Amino acid sequence: MKIGVLSTPNSKGQVVIPKKIRDELNITNNTILHISSLGGYISMVPITGILTKKDASDSYAELLKKTQGAWTHHTKVIDKRQKTRKKIELQASIKRKKSW
């Protein structure tokens, strides 16, 4: 196992991220860190960008514009299947009526 830098938490549980690692990951005092516990390990990942509700809705709208029509072929196949199924069901219904 490769040992990097060892550190101990202070009385408040705070740990200092070594300067070498902060510089390597571009972590500043304004960087938001996502911290999670993973089976006995602590994971700390810098968040590079956060979408606001407005940004997210704008991005979603742009994505929909870019992919507009991408599912056209798929919907045509579904429509064809529905028409075929309806035709088969109608024929079966007529056949049942005749048997009465």
List pLDDT tens digits, range 38-68: 888 888 888 877 666 666 677 777 777 777 7
| CA atoms in the 13 A half-sphere facing the CB of 69 | 2
The SS3 assignment for 8 reads coil
Instruction: Give backbone dihedrals phi and psi of 46, rounded to 5 degrees, phi first.
Output: -70, 135
**Residue 30 — left, alpha, or beta (φ > 0 → left; ψ -120 to 50 → alpha)?**
alpha
On average, the pLDDT of the chain sits at: 81
- Res 72: pLDDT: 60
